[in-house]
Structure 1
Amino acid sequence: MEQFHTWFTQAHTSGLAEPNAMVLSTIDPTGAPRARTVLMKGYDHAGLRFFTNYRSRKGRSLEDDPRACVVFPWHAIRRQVMISGSVERLTDRENDEYFARRPRGSQLGAWASERQSAPVADRAGLDGLYARFAEVWPPGVEIPRPAYWGGFRLVPREVEFWQGRSDRMHDRFRYLLAAGAASDGDWVIDRLSP
């Protein structure tokens, strides 16, 4: 995570738009892989945090099979980081603290998208839901976190740092958690062939 912090800081200061955007891959109940872009909302020695509707397709997939892989595609600086590992739900306290910091519109959006990933009749219906929740919680009134909304932590087991170089002679380093090690255990570091 120290190496990730160094690269993430460099990506952030390079002026990249949304360096915290990551492609999250999960396995659905049929065994098929699915990928989508989500925003990392924090990280520390324990892993990466992101938030979603627990009833969404990705939320259900992560509950059924708590393994995932993310990729940070920082093309403009010729870097990529891939992290795979196990996923765990964040605590209610962590979820409440983050939800309280979200913009009011995003809080209302979490309520309006209770059925995230489910078909909707049209945009007007979705906008109507948002407007109804805006009436329930007018400006100045605290909006509670929906019970179905919260975060996950991706606990790294394998991390690959990729640095693009000319003539396809890229630098690739894989950090692999040693068998039987805890999340702060020993990592085996290998240089991989490009």
Structure 2
Amino acid sequence: MESTNYILLHDPRQEDIITAVQQLTDLYADSGFTNGITLYKSTAKEELYILFFSNQPDFERFKYFVNYLTYPEIDNFKAKVFGYWTVTAADNLPQRYIGQRALVYVSEQDTEGDNVHAVFKEYESTIKMGFASGEEFQVLGEKEFSFSEPHLEQKDLSLIRTFTPNISLKKTTKPGCSIMMATFMAFGILLMWIIK
């Protein structure tokens, strides 16, 4: 199968991964990247699921997706999540990583919950990529594990589902916001009348 950007999930329960991917699809609907995510199950390897994107996300969103699928809002969710990404100049990583394959994951040693880590085939260090300003790129010590990528073949993949955002969950104006806005406008008009 042609190398592309995708996410692998090892050992989740199928109903949990379907719920998690739908939550992800709805949460990031405004990005456009989650429309048309396809979920496959491997027929060659037990309990292995693969997510492909019909609308390829940018690297920043891809990192969010890996993080989210590690910590979805599902009780007792358990899965090992690995994202595979080919680095481009647009990804804001140092020049030496451009063209490299990255294995993106959440470290078991991470206690913050808002980071991903990456290992590269050609380099001996783990890279921490935080989401907070100033935490975007940090070279750590030796790799937690070596880069590896499975060989995927279309004939070994069974389509489980294609996801689209649930439009009924689209964000709407909160009821309190309209009342608050009307109050501010009335106060402004009253203040202008008093000043005259």
Q: TM-score, normalised by structure 2?
A: 0.28
Q: Which one has the bigger strand percentage?
A: 1
Computing the radius of gyration from Cα coordinates, the structure with the larger value is: 2
TM (norm. structure 1) is 0.28
